[in-house]
Amino acid sequence: MAEILKIGVIGAGQMGAGIAQVCALAGLSIVLNDIAEERIEDALVQIDANMGKLIERHQIDDAARQAAMARIQATTDQQAFADCDLILEAAAENEEVKRKIFMNVCPLLRKDCMLATNTSSISITRLASVTDRPERFIGIHFMNPVPRMQLVELIRGIATEDTTFEAAKGLIKRLGKTAIVSEDFPAFIVNRILLPMINEAIYTLYEGVGTVDAIDTAMRLGANHPMGPLQLADFIGLDIVLSVMQVLHEGLADSKYRPCPLLVKYVEAGWLGRKTQRGFYDYRSGTPIPTR
């Protein structure tokens, strides 16, 4: 398989923008795609601002920033994927959405183009099955925020060929990140461990064992976590937390993965965390205030 030099990123949200940034800084050409023009524009502003912070910390210089920005082609037209070596999907954590994306994009690609998904929980084998190239399909799960987090999970589907896996490993090495390999089980490794812990913290709040502040302080100071579990849930997005817990609950058929009813209630209310300004904390004043 040829070296990966040009990557199409589908989804210009927080994850897609982060992936585009680290790949562009590593010298790769990027086609950043989204169905919403304003999301693409916001992503470019965020990428430029993030690299500005790297300049302030003396991690890159302005020439590197300008060169990286020049490598990112932003477009709503997926025809721009025609000469890409890899398409990496970073859309919403919804299996039906992802399946439609892959079915629609495959006819536009070279036959040797690889496909990857940044899903944090969904079966790689199932997603690969709707494509015309399951042997060239792999899970490449970056952690959030992508520019800061060192780890990437690589997940092979049942049909993933060795050449696809080795190419993905080579890409992660070029990005200066560390790859671990997970089997294709619901939520893989990180979220299989992390999200049930967050769900249990929400149960602890739901049952009145402690307040939001008490629970987060307990885990920061008692377990030396850099961020409390409820604060982390708000950062991830409560809709994403719920989605992953549902995948675990349905995929493993174990009651210990049942999403907490309070989590469901917050998502139903549209209180999804930082991105909606309200979750377990209210961020509207500029100072996070616990909502319970």
Active site residues: 120, 141, 153, 191
3-state secondary structure (DSSP) of residue 108: helix
Q: What is the spatial distance between Cα 8 and Cα 81, in angstroms, rounded to a whole number? A: 6
CB under 8 Å to 224, separation ≥6 — which residues? none
Residues paired with residue 159 on neighbouring β-strands, in sequence order: none
The count of other CB atoms within 10 Å of the CB of residue 238 is: 29
| C-alpha closest to that of 227 among 245, 207, 240, 212 | 212
Beta bridge partners of 6: 29
Strand partners for 116? 88, 138
67 Cβ contact list (under 8 Å, min separation 6): none
Round to whole Å and give the CA distance between 78 and 32.
9
Q: Write the DSSP symbol of residue 237.
A: -
Tokens representing 64 are 């590197």
Per-residue tokens: 82: 């025609």
Place of tokens 């560390």: 178
Residue 110 in tokens: 């070279």
Three-state DSSP at 25 gives helix
